[in-house]
Structures are given as C-alpha cells and as structure tokens.
Amino acid sequence: MSLRDHFDAVTADTDRADGLAVDRDKAIAIAVFLIPGLTLFTIFSVAPIVYSAIGSFYSWDTFTMEHFVGFDNWIRSLTDPLIVNWSNMREFQYPMGALTHNLLWVVLHVPASTFLGLALALLFADLKGRRILRSMVFAGFTVPPIVIGLVLMFVYDPQAGIFNEFLRVIGQGHLVRNWTQSPQVAIYALIAGGIWVHTGFSMLLYSSALSAIDPSLIESAKVDGANAWRRFWDIIWPLVKPVTAVVVIMGIIWVMRMFDIVYAAGGAAGGPNHAYSVLGIEVYRAAFRPQIDYGMAMVVALLQLFIVAPLALYIARMR
C-alpha cells in the first residue's frame, strides 16, 4: 500500500464518518511518517543500549562476544579501584575512582556554577552594557570542551600559565605548581575550569528567567515593604525555581558525561595514575585501549546511563 493509498483511505473514511476505521487508518498513516525517524533512532540509540545491556552479561575476546557469564563483568567493574577506590577514599588520596570523581564534580561543580550563574544574572540584570558582559561570560560555553581542556593546560602551566603568574604576583610563589599534573589538587583545578565554562550557561538561562519576571511584581513587593533580600527570597527565587531545576539537572548530566576536558588535560589515563579519571575516560580506555575489556566498557557506560537517564526523563516531563 503506497502512501497515496493511505491518504485516499483516510479521506474516504472521513467521508463515511466511520469512527473506528478513521482511527485505525490514521494510526497507520502516523506510523508511516514515524518509520524513517524511528529507524534511525533504533539503529543509533536503542540498539546500542540493548546490545550493551546484553553484552554486559557475556565474556568478550576483544570484539567477539563469547559466552554468558552472569554478573561477572558487573562485579569486576564495580569493585575495580579505577571505578571506586574505597581504600584511597578512606585516606582521601587521589585517585579515588572514576565514579567518585564524577560525583565530586556533581557536588562541587553543579552548585557552584548554578549559584554563580544566578549571581551574575542578578548582577547584570540592570547593568549598563549587560549584553556585552553576558556575551563575554557565555562565550566560554560556546567553545568546544576539548579546547577548554587545552586552554586549562595553558592557564595552569607552571612556567607560562597565567594562574601561576597570578600566584607569584600576589606573593604566593610557594604555591606554584603544575596544577593539572599534581594528583591531590588537579581535579579541583579542572572543576574550577568547568565552573568557569558552565557558569555562562546557567547565567544565560537565569537571565532569561529574570527578564521574564514582571517588573511590577518587584515594584509591588517594594511597596509592600520587602527589602532586597526578601524580594530575592520571597519573589525571585521561587519564580526561577523551574529554571533552577533545569540548570541543576543539565549540570549533573553535563558533568556525568564529562570526557573532553579530562582527556585534554590528562590523556586517556585521566591524569597521572588516573588521579582525575572519570567514567567517560574509563569507558573509552576499556573499549579502545589495550587491554581491551568490552564487558567493562559496557557496564560503565550503562552505569552512566542509569544516573543520567532519570534526570533527562525528569526534564523531558517538566511542564
């Protein structure tokens, strides 16, 4: 049956006003239109996820699926110190495992970039030249993350880096070091870079949310006797709450998928002795670097998916 036939059928049925038949033909027509998109979606999104989910229960000889091993891959991966390093965590020594590093990003990066974004948005709201300031802050977010990683390498370089130069200028020369290669501090240096980039994104969302607030609400609160803090806490903060949800969740998703910045700064190992490796790096190394361990790559990738998917779903269903 060609598409033309479907159209004809739909029209004909409408004429007959036969409710059930119309619905059925409509459904077929809808399906026909959905097929191209769904096909691509299935090939490139659903199939790999399903393939990984199945593959994570099999043993692998490089790229060949061999036999069912139950939860072996899962147990091996989750107890791997590269993913969660319990003993180092107890002593607060890096590396503490990729999953831990990712969660550290969530705990530090997300609140910091959210509040900084809100603060800048509030600061720029009534400022002259706010467009230029906003563009400057947002510019960071438009740069590819891999470039950000390379820029951070320069910023933190012990000789040429501007950050170390700054330390020297303010008389803190003893702190000068190669920030991206010092295991105990490197992750914070990278998180700071991530905050710089991501603040532009949250600032942009907050700026538009703030400009959507009716100015007479603020004036009304002023006349009612609210000082600047009450106006923020009682009016602005509740009104930008939906944006906060988006900013926080997008932030979590962004850092859970973190790869480029870490790769640029620390290569496939994720820093000296994996000091700031993240899940993305572990997936990459397990899948594409010898010793290739497809089972583990699949498990870690699924782990990322389990954390990110519910958040993505929440955003997708938000009103």
d(C-alpha 291, C-alpha 80), whole Å: 15
Q: Which positions from 231 through 250 interact with another protein, judged by CB under 8 A?
A: 234-235, 238-239, 241
Is 224 a binding residue for another protein by CB under 8 A? The answer is yes
d(C-alpha 222, C-alpha 203), whole Å: 25
The smaller minimum CB distance to another protein, of residues 36 and 225, is found at: 225
d(C-alpha 164, C-alpha 145), whole Å: 22
Is 15 a binding residue for another protein by CB under 8 A? The answer is no
Member of 24, 131, 230, 289 binding another protein (CB under 8 A): 230
The smaller minimum CB distance to another protein, of residues 119 and 221, is found at: 221
Is 217 a binding residue for another protein by CB under 8 A? The answer is yes
Member of 216, 290, 316, 317 binding another protein (CB under 8 A): 216
**Least distance from another protein to the Cβ atom of residue 119, Å:** 21
**Least distance from another protein to the Cβ atom of residue 311, Å:** 24
**Least distance from another protein to the Cβ atom of residue 216, Å:** 4
Is 53 a binding residue for another protein by CB under 8 A? The answer is no
d(C-alpha 84, C-alpha 96), whole Å: 6
Is 318 a binding residue for another protein by CB under 8 A? The answer is no
Member of 3, 222, 288, 310 binding another protein (CB under 8 A): 222
Convert residues 169-208 into a mask of x (bound to another protein by CB under 8 A) and - (unbound). ----------------------------------------
**Least distance from another protein to the Cβ atom of residue 22, Å:** 36
**Least distance from another protein to the Cβ atom of residue 213, Å:** 10
Q: Which stretch binds another protein (CB under 8 A): 134-142, 212-220, 246-254, 273-281?
A: 212-220
d(C-alpha 252, C-alpha 140), whole Å: 18
Q: Which stretch binds another protein (CB under 8 A): 203-211, 219-227, 284-292, 297-305?
A: 219-227
Member of 171, 223, 317, 319 binding another protein (CB under 8 A): 223
Is 142 a binding residue for another protein by CB under 8 A? The answer is no
The smaller minimum CB distance to another protein, of residues 210 and 298, is found at: 210
Is 319 a binding residue for another protein by CB under 8 A? The answer is no
SS (H, E, C) the chain: CCHHHHHHHHHHHHHHCCHHHHHHHHHHHHHHHHHHHHHHHHHHHHHHHHHHHHHCCEEEECCEEEEECCCHHHHHHHCCCCCCCHHHHHCCCCCCCHHHHHHHHHHHHHHHHHHHHHHHHHHHHCCCCHHHHHHHHHHHHHCCHHHHHHHHHHHCCCCCCHHHHHHHHCCCHHHCCCHHHCHHHHHHHHHHHHHHHHHHHHHHHHHHHHHHCCHHHHHHHHHHCCCHHHHHHHHHHHHCHHHHHHHHHHHHHHHHCCCHHHHHHHHHHCCHHHCCCCHHHHHHHHHHCCCCCHHHHHHHHHHHHHHHHHHHHHHHHCC
d(C-alpha 50, C-alpha 42), whole Å: 10
**Least distance from another protein to the Cβ atom of residue 221, Å:** 7
The verdict on whether omega for the bond into residue 95 sits within 30 degrees of 0, i.e. cis, is: yes
**Least distance from another protein to the Cβ atom of residue 232, Å:** 13
- Residues contributing to the site for another protein (CB under 8 A): 214, 216-217, 219-226, 230, 234-235, 238-239, 241
